[in-house]
Amino acid sequence: MTRMAFALLYLIAALPAFAQSYPSHPVKIIVPFGVGGPADIYARFLGAKLGETMGQPFVVENRPGAGAVLGSDAVAKSAPDGYTLLMMSNTHTVNETLIPRKPYELMRDLAPINGVNYSDLLLVIHPSVPANNLKEFIALAKASPGKLNYASSGPGTPYNMAGELFKFMAGVDVVHVPYKGSDGARAGILGGQVQMMIDAITTMTSNVRSGKLKALGTTGRTRSSVLPDVPTIAEAGVPGYETGIWLGLMAPMGTPRPVLERLNAEIGRVLNSPEVKEIWSKQGAVPMNMTIEQFDKFLRDDIAKWAGVVKATGMKIE
């Protein structure tokens, strides 16, 4: 047997032991979005829980920019050792079609670990807009094409895609105003610089309850338990409309399978915790625990789904 073959056998035999000792130092979770959005909030929540159970800190680092491409590429090019992870969302599955010339490919350069959670989105308008329900807002938009605008945290994000899908299905011309991050977009709608935004229900509900914004509809199939008095967009005036935001974790491709399995199992324990389910339920978030194979299929199916939406709406990165 050659020296190389011996080395390969040794490496294979050492993998289970490596997984058992993993992690031996802090793990970095890169969030390719700004501070304050769902990806940031839940990365910090999950990181704290994993730090407790796995005995090493899970440190969150925000690297927003270029529609989540900058931070994601940094993870794709990191050492495949389990010490650099990516908190990702449906922004990434959209980008596979919307930004085809990225420096990485999602399913080629990153390995699925597990889902995190799913949340409905919430369509809100500034109180200065003279509309009290979705049908009135649609009528206003149709009467003034190109005069109203909506905020998002950037091209290809769930908020942008939800807005374009709304425009397409409602037949309205509302101008997209992309911000560099979700915190900027929220500041824009709260300050009245933009009239509309579709944002995560987990981060926007408090602004509705305080009267700072008006809620016109949620994006799920059924009404949200968080805001049960707010109709779905489908029942309020745009039949068939449905979308949301989900989060998941990936690692550089080539990360040892035992490490991926350990992370998958530990994340699953967090997501299955009655305490976590209760906390997230009050926020409007649903845990998305899957096997590695299930999450892999979920990602591929979502890429295909959003490819259809991008084609139907004619969306392009300006």
The 10s digit of each residue's pLDDT in 49-99 is: 999 999 999 999 999 988 899 999 999 999 999 999 999 999 999 999 999
- Give the three-state DSSP class for 279: helix
* pTM to 2 decimal places: 0.85
Q: How many CB atoms lie within 10 A of CB 203?
A: 21
- Residue type for position 92: H
What is the pLDDT averaged over residues 220-236? 95
Do 24-118+245-313 and 121-236 show the same overall fold? yes
Handedness of CA 33, 220, 207, 225 (dihedral sign): negative
Q: Which CATH number is 121-236 given? A: 3.40.190.10
Average per-residue pLDDT for the chain:
92
Domain map (residue ranges) of the chain: 24-118+245-313, 121-236
Flag whether pLDDT at 8 surpasses 50.
no
State residue 17's pLDDT score.
Answer: 55
State residue 289's pLDDT score.
Answer: 98
State residue 315's pLDDT score.
Answer: 81
Level-2 CATH architecture, domain 24-118+245-313: 3-Layer(aba) Sandwich (3.40)
Q: How many CB atoms lie within 10 A of CB 242?
A: 17
What is the pLDDT averaged over residues 146-170? 92
What is the pLDDT averaged over residues 280-303? 96
- Please give the Cα distance from 25 to 19 (Å, whole number): 13
130-150 burial, b if ≥16 CB within 10 A, otherwise e?
A: ebeebeebbebbeeeeeebbb
Flag whether pLDDT at 22 surpasses 70.
yes
State residue 16's pLDDT score.
Answer: 55
- Please give the Cα distance from 168 to 215 (Å, whole number): 20
Phi, psi of 82 (to 5 degrees): 85, 5
Q: How confident is the model at residue 19 (pLDDT cuts 50, 70, 90)?
A: low
State residue 243's pLDDT score.
Answer: 93
State residue 12's pLDDT score.
Answer: 56
What is the pLDDT averaged over residues 161-165? 92
Contacts of 252 (CB under 8 A, 6+ apart): 75, 76, 77, 78, 79, 80, 84, 109, 110, 111
